[in-house]
Amino acid sequence: MKKTVQTLMTLVAVLALAGAAHAVTFTASSSFSDLSGNDENFKWSVASKTISDFNLNVGQSNTFSYGKFSTNDFPIDNLDGNDNNDSFVSNLFITPPTPNATASGTGEPDAVKSGYWIIWPIWYNDTSTASVDFDNTPIEITFGNGGKYTVAFNDLNGIEDNCNYDLTATLTLVSDSTPVPEPSTMFLLGAGLLGVVGLRRKFNR
């Protein structure tokens, strides 16, 4: 009788461990769409890059680069600084779930013409900059049985030269998916518990 109870308790423990927290592996890729104004006054381009797989436990975050923003328009002139209608859409394709989920965010590149004279009119210190602004509101994605994570597209600041700059996003695992026990396993567990109850009643008599 005691051995039977121990066996059933072991089975319960195994089922509990099956639902315990574990690291979730994320796979992602990217693309860009709806480029607007990239070939006008302030000239720029975007390109995807390979994203390495990464693992997260519940509550952890990972900030990763998914693309490159490039410009060769420095020094910024007045026309560049007045060009405020540029935009593009960043698309991330993420697994889990299967098939993958899509998270999209609109980036808005802006250049600011600024500077000051040190020795007028000979020496002008150009402090012009550019940036890419996103709506940083986290996007919620669900997967499996109760799994959830968020994705936020990060602003890109401090563009001060003709160069390639990383576009980044942050993924945060909010909750993990809980495995659903197989019906056969639940049946065996239920039958075993009923058997224990029956044996106890028999011995009590």
Q: What pLDDT, in 10s, does the model give residues 113-128?
A: 887 767 766 666 678 8
Q: How confident is the prediction for the chain on average, in pLDDT?
A: 83
Mean pLDDT of 164-174: 98
Residues 6 or more apart whose CB falls under 8 angstroms from that of 42 comprise 71, 73, 76, 80, 81, 83, 86, 109, 110, 111, 130
- Give the rounded distance of the alpha carbon of 126 from its chain centre: 36
The proportion of the chain whose per-residue pLDDT surpasses 90, expressed as a percent, equals 60
**pLDDT the model gives residue 127:** 82
Domain spans of the chain?
1-19+179-205, 27-177
Mean pLDDT of 66-78: 93
Looking at residue 135, its amino acid is D
Contacts 24+ apart (CB under 8 A), 14-22: 15/181, 15/185, 15/189, 18/179, 18/181, 19/178, 19/179, 21/57, 21/58, 21/176, 22/57, 22/176
User: Would you say 151 and 51 are in contact if contact means Cβ atoms under 8 Å apart?
Assistant: no
Predicted TM-score (pTM) of the model is: 0.77
Which has more confidence, 20 or 60? Answer: 60
Largest CA-CA distance found in the chain, in angstroms, rounded: 109
| pLDDT confidence bin for 22, thresholds 50/70/90 | confident
